[in-house]
Amino acid sequence: MNPTRTTPDQLSVPPDGRPYHDQPQWRNDFPIDWPQDELVARRDFTKFLVLTSFAFVVGQLWIVFENFMRRRRGQPPVKLIARANALPVGGSLVFEYPAQHDICILVRTGPQHYVAFNQKCTHLSCAVIPQVEQKRFFCPCHNGAFDLESGVPIAGPPRRPLERILLEIRDGDLYAIGRQVHA
Amino acid sequence: MKRAFSRQQKMTIVFGILSIVVMIVVLQLWLLTATMNAFLAEQERVIVPAAIASIICLALNMGLLSYIYRMERR
């Protein structure tokens, strides 16, 4: 035992709890102050958790920044998609809106009725497939499904509806005029 | 003059603080996921209050951590 440690509070306790004379020689040669070690380990773990807490705050501020930038961008532009009668009833067409690589899908559900949604599944961003006969958009990744007319989730893991693309027919042409997101 | 804590007492205090910090961090994780969900659904009302709440949580955590260091210096 280390002779300089006299008070019980300062004793270095081996992890198995046996007295020092029952401990192997190497433990006597290299004593470890286990209570102090435990205290430092818990303190450092608390420090690590505070760093994690800081990372969460950075994440929150990033969301605030992204939201600010999104508001600054405003409404997306009006964009021509196709001739309205170019699509047969029950047919679908993929287009990009509002920017390149924002893939959306237009479906003609009736002679005078069209719907368009962002093709990204709101669960994990897989591309949804229109299944007009079953009146739904189907996500093959996790068997998610959305209502064809409203885009609300009806099956599987998605909890948020698909982003709707607002449409307008002008002189027989179909235009995308904005986007609408519902909670 | 403040009395120095014994090792046993320090250990108890550190465990108590650690438990509180764990709970606050879990709360922040929940806040972050809920805020991200709201952001993607364009529910903008909750974004700034959630960020403020998270900053308050961080301040609490930092206060608790600084207490541990101050306690060890005694």
CB atoms A67 and B6 under 8 Å: no
CB atoms A46 and B14 under 8 Å: yes
| Probe site for chain A from B5, B9, B40 (most A CB atoms < 10 A) | B40
Task: Give A-chain residues touching B18 at CB under 8 angstroms.
Answer: 42, 45-46, 49
CB atoms A63 and B10 under 8 Å: no
Distances in Å between the alpha carbon of A141 and those of A129, B10, B29?
11, 52, 26
Q: d(Cα A19, Cα A70) in Å, to the nearest integer?
A: 66
Q: State both tokens at A148.
A: 């064809």
> Which candidate from B51, B57, B69 shows the least CB-CB separation from A53?
B57
Mapped onto helix, strand or coil, the DSSP state of residue A106 is: strand
- Nearest CA distance, A107 vs chain B (angstrom): 23
Ranges of H-type helices in chain A: 25-29, 34-73
Helix axes B7-40, B47-73, angle to 10 degrees: 170
Question: Is A135 part of the contact surface with chain B (CB cutoff 8 Å)?
Answer: no
Pairing mode of beta strands A153-155, A144-147: antiparallel
Q: d(Cα B45, Cα B38) in Å, to the nearest integer?
A: 9
Q: d(Cα B5, Cα B11) in Å, to the nearest integer?
A: 10
Q: What is the mean pLDDT of chain A?
A: 88
Distances in Å between the alpha carbon of B13 and those of A26, B8, B56, B64, B66?
32, 9, 22, 10, 13
Mapped onto helix, strand or coil, the DSSP state of residue B34 is: helix
pLDDT band at A1 (very low <50, low <70, confident <90, very high): very low
Q: Is there a contact between A141 and A128 (Cβ–Cβ < 8 Å)?
A: no
ipTM score assigned to the predicted complex: 0.93
CB atoms A56 and B28 under 8 Å: yes
Ranking A11-15, A63-67, A130-134, B70-74 by mean pLDDT, the lowest is A11-15
Task: Give A-chain residues touching B4 at CB under 8 angstroms.
Answer: none
Question: Is A65 part of the contact surface with chain B (CB cutoff 8 Å)?
Answer: no
Question: Is A181 part of the contact surface with chain B (CB cutoff 8 Å)?
Answer: yes
pLDDT at A6 over 70: no
pLDDT at A10 over 60: no
**pLDDT reported for residue A182:** 67
pLDDT band at A2 (very low <50, low <70, confident <90, very high): very low
CB atoms B18 and A46 under 8 Å: yes
**pLDDT reported for residue A7:** 53
Closest CA to B64 of B16, B26, B32: B16
pLDDT band at A20 (very low <50, low <70, confident <90, very high): confident
The structure's pTM equals 0.73
User: How many other C-beta atoms can be found within 10 angstroms of the C-beta atom of residue B41?
Assistant: 17
Interval B38-62 mean pLDDT: 94
Dump pLDDT digits (tens) for A63-118: 999 999 988 887 788 999 999 888 999 999 999 998 888 999 999 998 889 999 99
Q: d(Cα A47, Cα A55) in Å, to the nearest integer?
A: 13
Task: Give B-chain residues touching A67 at CB under 8 angstroms.
Answer: 39, 44, 47
Q: d(Cα A82, Cα A77) in Å, to the nearest integer?
A: 16
Ranking A60-64, A143-147, A179-183 by mean pLDDT, the lowest is A179-183
> Which candidate from A49, A61, A64 shows the least CB-CB separation from B25?
A49
- Nearest CA distance, B45 vs chain A (angstrom): 11
CB atoms A60 and B62 under 8 Å: no
Contacts of residue A4, defined as CB under 8 A and 6 or more positions apart, other chains included, come to none
